[in-house]
Chain A
Amino acid sequence: MTTRREFLTVTLSAAAGATLPARRASAAPKAMTVVRESSFIKPFDDYFAKTLAAEYEKQTGIKIVYEATSVGGMLTRLTTIAETKSGPEIAMTALNWPHLFDKSLADVSDIAGETGKQLGGWHENILEVVVVNKKWKALPWGNIGQLEVYRTDWFKEVGVTKFPETWEDLLAAGRLLKKKGHPFGFELGHGFGDNHGWLYPLFWSYGGREVDKDGKTVVIDSSETAKAVDFCRKFYQETMLEDVLGWTDVNNNKAFFGEQISCTNNASSILVVGKRDFPEIAKVTDHALNPAGPKGRFHVINSVSHALLTHAPDQAAAKAFLRWLYDDKQMSRWLASADAYYAPFLHGYDNHPMWNAEPRYLPYKESLKTSRPHTWPGPQGPAASESVAKYVLVDMFAKACRGDSTKDVIATAAGQLKQIYKAK
C-alpha cells in the first residue's frame, strides 16, 4: 500500500467485512466527529482527543474530531442532533437514551456481537438499556456507579470500623455521627445523578417498584413503598442536614470537601478530585456498596455508551471507527486512562489491571452485579424517561422528608405515574 486511498480501501474493507463494498471505502470521509459529555476525569478526555484520535488518523487518514459538551448538556445536544439530522456521526448516550432516540440510531449489533465475543461477553443487565427491539442501538462503554462515600476517620470515632451492611445499620451509625457534628448528606433535590443514585436502590431494597414489567400496571402504591418512604423520612430527619432537600449534584461534593458531611452517595470521581485537590481528606475517604434492605441490595445503572447516528453519511466508515475503538487494543487503554471511573460491562475486563491501582474503587466493579436501570423492572422507554425527568420518585421521598404523610406522597406519585404510563 503506497497511498492513503489504498490503505483506506484495505482497512475499511477488512474491517467492515463482506458487506462493505470497496466503492464505499474509496469514498471514505476526511473527518468524523465524536460528541461526548466532558468527563470529570480530564486524562480520559485527553487520551481520546490527543492519543486515540491521532492514532486513527495516522492509520486511516480520517481525522476524528472530538466535541465535548458540558456536564449535563449531552441530552440537549443529542436532541438537537437527532431533530436536525445533522452534526456528529457518533454520540455518547447515557441511561436509557438508546430507547428515546431509537429511530435516529443505527443498528450496531454486529460490532456488539464481535466485541462481546472477543472480551468474554456482556453483562446481562446492560442489554435492557441499549438493546431496542432486539437491535443494539449503542455500544456500552462503562458504568459510572453511584455508591456510598464516607469518612473512615469519623466513622471510627463512633466505633464503626466497617461500612454498615444494611440501611438500618447505616441509620444507627448516622445517628451517632450527627450527634458528633458529622451529619450525612444524601441529595434529595433535582440533580441528575446523586439523587436517583441512592433513592432507587433504597426503594428497590425495601421491595418498592414504580411500574410492573408490562409497563402498564402502576404498582407503587404498596406496603413495601410505604416502608421505604418511612425509612427515608427517619433516615433524613435523624442523620442529615435540612439542606439536602434542595441539593443538586454539586452540593454533596462541596459539603464533603467542606468537611460538613460524613457520608454521601456519589460516583468515584469524588475520590479522584479528593486525591488531586484535598489529599488529606482523600486519605480518610472510602467507598462502599449501597446498604442492603429487607429485599436485597441494589445500585443504579448509570451507563455511558456510544451510538452511531443514522444521518452519518458514511455508515461503514463510522462503524469501522467504532469497531477499532472497541477493540481490546484501544478500549483497554482508554478505560485505564479513566482511573476506573467507568466500570466496563464486559466480563473480559472483570480482572482488568485498571482495578488494581486503587482498591477503594473495587466496590464500583462489584456493584455491576446488582445494578438495574432507573424505573426497573418497568420497560425502558419514553415513559421511563418521563418519570425520571419529572423526579416522581425523588419528590415522593423529598416530600415525605419535609413532613408530608406517607399516604399522600405515595398517592401523588401513583397519580403521576398513571398519567405517564397511561395506566388505569
Chain B
Amino acid sequence: MAVGPASVARPARGAGRATSRRRLLERESVFSWVMLAPGVLFLLAFVAYPFFYGIFLSLQDRRVASAGTFVGLANFAAQAHDAVFWQVTRNTFVYTIAATLLKMVGGLVMALVINQQFRGRNLARAFLLLPFIVPTVLSTVAWMWILDPTFSVINWTLLHSGIVTQNFSWLGNATLAMVAIIMVNTWRGLPFYGITLLAGLQTISPDLYEAAAIDGASLTQRFWYITLPVLKPVLIIVTMFSVIFTFSDFQLPYILTHGGPANATHLFATYAFDIGMSAGVLGMGAAVALAMLPALAVLIVGLTLYLRRE
C-alpha cells in the first residue's frame, strides 16, 4: 500500500494535539484547576447557590408559592422585635458553648485513654465511633426512649439505686430539656473529637515524653507542656468544625423536642424551619437562618487568624 503524504501527516497532527494537551496539563496552574474543578462546581451548586439564594430570600417578603417583594432588611428588623427570636439566640449559644466544651474535654480524655496500650484497644476504638456512625435520626429516636419519663432507663436506674425519689421529666422541664439535648449532642459528637485528637496525639514523638521524664517532669507537667501545645492546632480546627455543626444542629432537637417545651430548646435551625416551611414565610425563615452567620463568621475568622499567627 502506497503511503501518501496526507496519511503520514494525519497521525502527526493527532500526536501534536496530544502532546500539547499533555504539556498544558503539566503546567501546575492548569492541572490544579482541573483537579479542583469538580469540587468547586459541587460547592457552587450545593453550597454557594443555596447560600446566596438564602440571602436573596431574606431580603424579600416572600411567601411560599408566591412572588416576593423586596423589603431590604425588614425581615431582620422584625426579628429584633420578636421575643422568641432572642430566646432562640440564647438557646443556641447555651447549647453550642456547653456541648462544645463537654465534647472538647470528653474527647481529649477519650483520645488520651485510647492512645494507651491495653488489650482490646482496637475494639474499643471501633465501639467509640458508634455514636458518630449511627444515623442521627435513629440514635435520637433511641434517646427519646432513654429520656421517656415512663420507660427511661436513666430514671429507672436513678430511682432503683435510691439516688432520686421520683422520675425526672427530661423533656418536659425547660432546664432538663436543654440539659438533655446537650447531653445527646455531646454523646454524638464525642467520637469526632476523640478520633481527631487521637490522630494528633500519635504525631507527638515519644522522645519528647522520655526527655521530659528524665528531666523529672510529672504526668501533669508533660500534659501541659508537651501534649497540649502540640495538640493545639488540631484542637482549634476540630473545635471550629464542632462549633459550626453544633450551632446549626437541626435533626437532634427537632426530633427530640421540636423546640419545646415552650421554645426552651428551639435553636436557629429548628426555628427557621418552622417559620420557613411550616408557616410558609420563606423570607423570614431565611433571615432567621442567616442570623447564625455573623457569630460563625467571627469565630471562623478569629480562629483562622490565630492559627496563622501560631
Q: Which residues from B are CB-within-8-Å of A391? A: 259-260, 263
A246 surroundings in chain B (CB, below 8 A): 169-173, 177, 257, 260-261
Q: Mark B47-79, 1 if CB is under 8 A from A, else 0.
A: 000000000000000011110000000000010
Looking at chain A's contact residues, the main secondary structure is helix
Q: Which residue of A83, A188, A412, A415 contacts B64 across the interface (Cβ within 8 Å)? A: A83
Residues of the B chain whose Cβ atoms lie less than 8 Å from the Cβ of A398? 260-262
Asked whether A382 lies within 8 Å of B172 as measured between CB atoms, the reply is no
- Residue A1 interfacial (CB < 8 Å): no
- The contact string, 1 if C-beta is below 8 Å from chain A, for chain B 160-172, is 0000000001111
Interface presence of A254 (CB below 8 A): yes
Do residues A419 and B280 form an inter-chain contact, with CB atoms below 8 A? no
Contact with B along A359-403 (1 / 0, CB 8 A): 000000000000000000000001001101111000100110010
Contact with B along A255-290 (1 / 0, CB 8 A): 100101000000000000000000000000000000
Q: Which of A10-18, A100-108, A114-122, A227-235 contacts B (4 or more CB under 8 A)?
A: A100-108
Asked if A248 and B258 make an inter-chain contact with CB atoms under 8 angstroms apart, the answer reads yes
Please pick, from B83, B263, B274, B279, the residue contacting A382 in the complex, using a CB distance under 8 A.
B279
Contact among A76, A189, A250 with B260 in the assembled complex (CB-CB below 8 Å): A189
- Residue A191 is within 8 A (CB to CB) of chain B in the complex: yes
B202 interfacial by beta-carbon distance below 8 Å = no
Contacts A100-B65, A382-B279, A386-B275 given; indicate if A243 touches B262 (C-beta within 8 A): no
Interface of chain B, main secondary structure: loop
Q: Contact at A415–B83, with CB atoms within 8 Å?
A: yes
Q: How far is the CB of A97 from chain B (nearest CB, A)?
A: 9
Asked whether, in the complex, the Cβ of A104 is within 8 Å of the Cβ of B82, the reply is no
Number of A-B contacts (CB under 8 A): 118
Q: Are B172 and A247 in contact (CB under 8 A)?
A: yes
Taking CB atoms, residues of chain B closer than 8 Å to A258 are 150-151
At the interface, yes or no: A322 with Cβ under 8 Å from chain B?
A: no
Is B292 part of the binding interface, using a Cβ–Cβ cutoff of 8 Å?
A: no
Closest to A258 in B: B150
- In Å, the complex CA distance between A355 and B114 comes to 64
> Is the CB–CB distance between B64 and A101 below 8 Å?
yes
> Are B64 and A79 in contact (CB-based, < 8 A)?
yes
Taking A254-B150, A389-B274 as contacts, is the C-beta distance between A243 and B171 under 8 angstroms? Answer: yes
Complex CA distance for A281 and B81, rounded to whole angstroms: 49
B81/A389 in contact, CB under 8 A: no
Judge if B20 is at the interface, Cβ distance under 8 Å.
no
CB pair B275 A390 closer than 8 Å: yes
How far is B279's CA from A100's CA once the two chains are assembled, in angstroms? 9
A214-258 interface with B by 8 A CB criterion: 241-248, 250-251, 254-255, 258
Q: How far is the CA of A82 from the CA of B171 in the complex (A)?
A: 35
Provide the bound-state CA to CA distance between A148 and B257, in Å: 24
B residues 280-302 touching A (CB-CB < 8 Å): 280-281
B81 contacts A382, C-beta separation under 8 Å = no
Residue on A with the closest CB to B255? A248
Question: Which residues B248-276 have CB closer than 8 A to chain A?
Answer: 257-263, 274-275
Chain A residues with Cβ below 8 Å from B201 are: none
A254→B148 contact, CB < 8 A: yes
Given contacts A243-B171, A244-B172, contact A419 B82 (CB under 8 A): yes
Verify if B278 is at the interface (C-beta below 8 Å from A). Answer: yes
Across the interface, name the chain A residue whose C-beta is closest to B266: A190
Q: Quick check: is A416 within 8 A (CB to CB) of the other chain?
A: yes
Q: What is the CB-to-nearest-CB distance from B53 to chain A, in angstroms, rounded to a whole number?
A: 11
Which residues of chain A have C-beta atoms less than 8 A from B261's C-beta? 188-190, 245-246, 398, 402
Interface string of A305-339 (1 = CB under 8 A from B): 00000000000000000000000000000000000
A75 proximal to B (CB < 8 A) = yes
Residue in chain A with minimal CB distance to B284: A386
Contact between A416 and B63, CB atoms less than 8 A apart: no
Task: Give A382 to B61 CA distance when docked, in angstroms.
Answer: 12
What 0/1 readout, one digit per residue, does chain B (129-159) give for beta carbons within 8 Å of chain A?
A: 0000000000000001000111100000000
Q: Would B84 and A390 count as touching, CB distance under 8 A?
A: yes
Most chain B C-beta atoms within 10 Å of own C-beta, residue among A101, A248, A251: A248
Q: How far is the CA of A379 from the CA of B115 in the complex (A)?
A: 64
Instruction: Give complex CA distance A83, B57 in Å.
Output: 13
Question: A76 CA to B276 CA in the complex, in Å?
Answer: 10
- CB neighbours (8 Å) of B275 from chain A are 386, 389-390
The residue from B65, B144, B170 contacting A101, defined by CB atoms under 8 A apart = B65
CA distance A244 to B278 in the complex (A): 22
Residues of B within 8 A of A244 (CB): 172
Please give the distance in Å from B67's CB to the nearest CB on chain A. 9
Which residues of B sit under 8 angstroms from A188, Cβ to Cβ?
261
Nearest B residue to A387 via CB reads B279
Bound Cα distance A388, B281 (Å): 12
Bound Cα distance A245, B261 (Å) = 5
8 contacts between A and B (CB under 8 A): A75-B277, A190-B258, A190-B261, A191-B258, A241-B172, A243-B171, A248-B257, A389-B279
New A-B pairs, 10, CB < 8 Å, besides A190-B258, A258-B151 = A76-B277, A101-B64, A190-B257, A191-B258, A242-B169, A243-B171, A248-B260, A254-B150, A399-B262, A419-B82
Interface of B with A (CB < 8 Å)? 63-66, 78, 81-84, 144, 148-151, 169-174, 177, 257-263, 274-275, 277-281
State the 10 A-B residue pairs at the shortest beta-carbon distance, nearest first.
A246-B171, A389-B279, A389-B278, A243-B172, A190-B258, A190-B260, A189-B260, A82-B65, A245-B261, A246-B172
